[in-house]
Each structure stands twice: as structure tokens, then as C-alpha cells.
Amino acid sequence: KQEVTQIPAALSVPEGENLVLNCSFTDSAIYNLQWFRQDPGKGLTSLLLIQSSQREQTSGRLNASLDKSSGRSTLYIAASQPGDSATYLCAVEEGAQKLVFGQGTRLTINP
């Protein structure tokens, strides 16, 4: 059974810092890995999708990497801003839109 773990569970950093969120998964037989953002009381917003054959994806200040063989992904956020404060969720797709999610990292950026 696929299990996804995100470390740390919560992170608080001052504005302007670069930071890394970690995600690990137990079964490397995945189709892709997606990173989402969730603001309090809201739905999920897709940030980056990495296909299983890819190593990384970039969007603006965000960069996500994928190492399938070791079952790890990282989300790198450059020059953090208070607006980046949210819960970040990592999910692996097992096929046909079935996502297995980690518990998330609650990120707080302090002005």
C-alpha cells in the first residue's frame, strides 16, 4: 500500500528565505507526482506536476524534483513571501486520477 510522508509537518521562516519541503513515498511505481497548495478553508491549487520520467519541474520561484528510485521529491521555494503561507501537499498518482496524499507541511512566512 502506497504511503506518502511529508517532513516537516510545520515550518516557520522569515520572509526572503529559500526553503525546501520534503516528500517521500514507499512504492516507486507511480505515474507522476504533484505538489498542491491549500489555503485555510479552501480547495487545492495545483503547483507543479512531475511525470514519472522527469526529474524536475519549475514554475516561477518554485522548483520540484523527483527521484523515483529513492522515493523522494522536494519542493524548493525561492525568496519566500508572506503570500506563500499555506499548507503544501504532495501527492503521487497511482493511475486514473487516484492520488495518494501526504499529510502536508504547514508553512508560515513571517514578514
Contact set with other proteins (CB under 8 A): 31-32, 34, 36, 42-46, 49, 51, 89, 91, 93, 95-104
Query: At its nearest, how many Å lie between other proteins and the CB of residue 94?
Result: 9
Query: At its nearest, how many Å lie between other proteins and the CB of residue 11?
Result: 17
The answer to whether 50 touches 59, Cβ cutoff 8 Å, is: no
Residue holding cell 525561492? 78
DSSP string, 4-47: EEEE-SEEEEETT--EEEEEEES----SEEEEEEE-TTS-EEEE
Assign residue 77 a region: left if phi > 0, alpha if psi is -120 to 50, beta otherwise?
beta
Kindly tell me which of 11 and 49 has the beta carbon lying closer to other proteins: 49
Kindly tell me which of 47 and 109 has the beta carbon lying closer to other proteins: 47
Query: At its nearest, how many Å lie between other proteins and the CB of residue 45?
Result: 7
Kindly tell me which of 57 and 80 has the beta carbon lying closer to other proteins: 57
